[in-house]
């Protein structure tokens, strides 16, 4: 150690991306299994002709398109290099060193890294035995140092989702000077009508932000486009500190093209959901205690067997995402990919 970098970063876990192995089926990063939506590649090609120019830093056209689709004012929207970057920006606009960032655990693995890079203290409230958020315990864990609360709905990696009364009660319980982020990266895969749309539940609440991404159902993971809908003051703060030009011109063009294909996006998401509903009972039949999922992945709580299960799947040509000592997250793929995975799972769980 040379002392050139902050000592507190040494203890930080690395973000582990889903592995890509040539020739293998990748069910490790919660991507959709189809190619880009129609018109997206053409839009990228067209935008690429202007690559020598900087993108629109205000992201005006895209923010307006998002505003129209989601029925909010463009002032409430900020875009970023993936929603993960926006979560980081939210930590930076809310937390001073030593302040607390509160979230359920296990949840999205970027959260502890985001807290640490903002020099905030992570306060992790354990998931319920059913692998969901323990919102009453989270509300009780709010202190006068809490600046930011992250609620992942549906939760990555467990797929569990919070229902309306619980979420509303939680939002009512959190003081208005604490920002609550509802991370809805997987919103398009939600089918339970009792799981509320964060945008609706946020309404005019002064301290609620909804985080969305175009990486999952919209199929733009490689281009890195996320957005948030926030109270105007918070959105403006994020736009102020965002790395300049971080939503590239190709990303903006592709996002606009994707948004024009909303129906096709939802049709594809519905296919993924149909496969999810096939996978969950099939895995339960094999003995895995899989919780109901509202996302495009399923969670196998295999405890100490997680790493070996993932290795067995990999030997069978399927890459899944193990969380050592805890469980395995498997992204829903095409019907054929899921069949290959189920065969591997059957052998591994036998
Ligand atoms: N939030 C959650 C819950 C996620 O699972 C992910 C992606 N794994 C993200 C945010 C970030 O996605 P992106 O940066 O691609 O928008």
Calculate the average pLDDT of the chain.
Answer: 96
Q: What is the rounded average pLDDT of the residues 290-294? A: 98
Tell whether ligand 1 has an atom less than 6 A from the beta carbon of residue 18. no
Residues paired with residue 104 on neighbouring β-strands, in sequence order? 125
d(CA 233, CA 230): 8
CB atoms within 10 A of CB 48: 11
Model pLDDT for residues 193-222, shown as the tens digit of each residue: 999 999 999 988 999 999 999 999 999 999
Q: What is the pLDDT of residue 1?
A: 58
Instruction: Give the mean pLDDT of 21-49.
Output: 96
Q: Please determine, for residue 18, whether its predicted confidence score (pLDDT) is greater than 90.
A: no
Q: Is the pLDDT of residue 326 over 90?
A: yes
Which domains, and CATH codes, for the chain?
17-36+263-349 (3.90.1150.10), 40-259 (3.40.640.10)
Among 318, 316, 272, smallest CA distance to 298 is for 272
Determine the Cα–Cα distance for residues 134 and 315; give it in Å rounded to an integer.
36
pTM: 0.97
| pLDDT tens-digit map of 86-124 | 999 999 999 999 999 999 999 999 999 999 999 999 999
Closest among 33, 170, 131, 192 to 329, alpha carbons compared = 131
Does the CB atom of residue 24 touch ligand 1 within 6 A?
A: no
Our answer on whether the CB atom of 47 is closer than 6 Å to any ligand 1 atom is no
Identify the pLDDT of residue 188: 98
Distance CA 252, CA 13 (A): 31
Instruction: For this complex, say whether ipTM is above 0.90.
Output: yes
Q: Please tell me the predicted confidence (pLDDT) of residue 161.
A: 98
Query: 198, exposed or middle or buried, with CB in 10 Å at 0-12, 13-18, 19+?
Result: buried
Q: Give the pairing of strands 318-319 and 321-323.
A: unpaired
Region 306-331: mean pLDDT is 98
Q: Is the pLDDT of residue 2 over 80?
A: no
pLDDT of residue 249: 98
DSSP state of 178: S
User: What CA–CA distance (Å, rounded) separates 127 from 114?
Assistant: 19
**Cα 84 to ligand 1 centroid, rounded to whole Å:** 5
Which position has the token pair 């036998």?
Answer: 350
Q: What band does 21 get if pLDDT is binned at 50, 70 and 90?
A: confident
Contact 120, 147 (CB under 8 A): yes
Distinct helix (H) and strand (E) counts, the chain: 12, 12
Chain segment 220-266, per-residue pLDDT in tens: 999 999 999 999 999 999 999 999 999 999 999 999 999 999 999 99
Residue nearest to atom 5 of ligand 1 (CA): 156
Ligand 1 center to 93 CA (angstroms): 19
Alpha-carbon distance 15 to 242, whole Å? 21
Q: Residue 120 has what pLDDT?
A: 96
Say yes or no: CB of residue 155 within 6 Å of ligand 1: no
Is 227 near ligand 1, meaning CB less than 6 Å away? Answer: no
Does the CB atom of residue 226 touch ligand 1 within 6 A?
yes
Q: Which residues contact 281 (CB under 8 A, 6 or more apart)?
A: none
Which runs of E-coded beta strand occur in 203-242? Answer: 208-213, 226-229
Which of 211, 271, 198 shows the shortest CA–CA distance to 238? 211
pLDDT of residue 3: 85
pLDDT of residue 5: 87
| Rounded distance between C-alpha atoms, residue 34 and residue 332, angstroms | 11
Predicted confidence band of residue 6 (pLDDT cuts 50, 70, 90): confident
């Amino acid at each position: 150690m040379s002392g050139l970098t902050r000592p507190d970063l040494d203890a930080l876990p690395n973000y582990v991306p889903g592995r890509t192995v040539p020739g293998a089926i990748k069910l490790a990063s919660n991507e959709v299994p189809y190619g880009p939506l129609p018109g997206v590649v053409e839009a990228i090609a067209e935008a690429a002709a202007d690559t020598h120019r900087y993108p629109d830093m205000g992201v005006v056209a895209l923010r307006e398109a998002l505003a129209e689709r989601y029925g909010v004012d463009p002032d409430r929207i900020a875009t970023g290099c993936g929603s993960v970057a926006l979560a980081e920006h939210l930590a930076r606009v809310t937390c001073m060193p030593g302040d607390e960032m509160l979230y359920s655990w296990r949840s999205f693995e970027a959260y502890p890294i985001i807290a640490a890079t903002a020099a905030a203290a992570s306060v992790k409230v354990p998931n319920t035995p059913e692998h969901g958020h323990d919102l009453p315990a989270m509300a009780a864990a709010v202190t006068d140092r809490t600046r930011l609360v992250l609620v992942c709905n549906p939760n990555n990696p467990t797929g569990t989702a919070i229902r309306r009364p619980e979420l509303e009660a939680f939002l009512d319980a959190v003081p208005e000077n604490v920002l609550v982020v509802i991370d809805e990266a997987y919103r398009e895969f939600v089918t339970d009508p009792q799981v509320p749309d964060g945008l609706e539940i946020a309404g005019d609440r002064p301290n609620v932000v909804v985080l969305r991404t175009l990486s999952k159902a919209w199929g733009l993971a490689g281009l890195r486009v996320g957005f948030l809908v926030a109270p105007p003051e918070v959105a403006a703060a994020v736009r102020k500190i965002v790395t300049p030009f971080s939503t590239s011109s190709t990303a903006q063009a592709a996002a606009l093209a994707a948004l024009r294909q909303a129906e096709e996006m939802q049709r594809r998401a519905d296919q993924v959901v149909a496969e999810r509903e096939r996978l969950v009972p099939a895995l339960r039949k094999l003995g895995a205690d899989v919780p109901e999922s509202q996302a495009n992945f399923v969670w196998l709580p295999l405890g100490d067997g997680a790493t070996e299960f993932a290795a067995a799947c990999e030997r069978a040509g399927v890459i899944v995402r193990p969380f050592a000592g805890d469980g395995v997250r498997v992204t829903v793929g095409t019907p054929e990919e899921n069949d290959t995975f189920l065969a591997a799972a059957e052998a591994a769980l036998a």
